[in-house]
Amino acid sequence: MKQRFWLIVGAILFILFIVVVAAASNTSTNQSSTQYRPDPKYKATITADTVGLDFIVITNENIPAQKIVLPQALPYTMNFAKDDILTFTVHTKDGYRFNSFDLGDGTFRSDNPMATKPNKNFQIHACVMPEDVIPWDITQ
């Protein structure tokens, strides 16, 4: 009778050991398949022409996370990680329109929304203008 008792206890312990090992290996598999996301270490500073600006939507496509920035919150500074894709969308008040983004390095972008993948600190300025102003065409 005692031998049978110890045989049953041994079998139960063996089964528990296998369950624990299987659970531990499953946890490590899930962790390794999760995409690694580095800590944010870069900063973006956003400014804009506040006259005529309603708000700016900033989206980090990698998280995804959105932030709505009102004119009174400008300049706005945010953190982002290497290889993050940031999208900026400008919304204007009636009677105004988006003109361009000044990227602070001598380049301008007229797409709205504008997506970028910076891997360094940067500044961006949203340019807004009245609707009745004819933009200067640099292609002529």
pLDDT tens-digit profile of 27-77? 444 444 455 667 888 999 999 999 999 999 999 999 888 999 999 999 999
Question: Beta strands 122-130 and 42-48: pairing type?
Answer: parallel
pLDDT tens-digit profile of 71-107? 999 999 999 999 999 999 999 999 999 999 999 888 9
User: Global pTM?
Assistant: 0.69
Work out the percent of the chain whose per-residue pLDDT is above 90.
56
Go through 121-140 and write b for each residue having 16 or more CB atoms within 10 A of its CB, e for each that does not. ebebbbbbbeeeeeeeeeee
The pLDDT score that the predictor gives to residue 31 is 44
Class at the top of the CATH hierarchy for domain 42-130: mainly beta
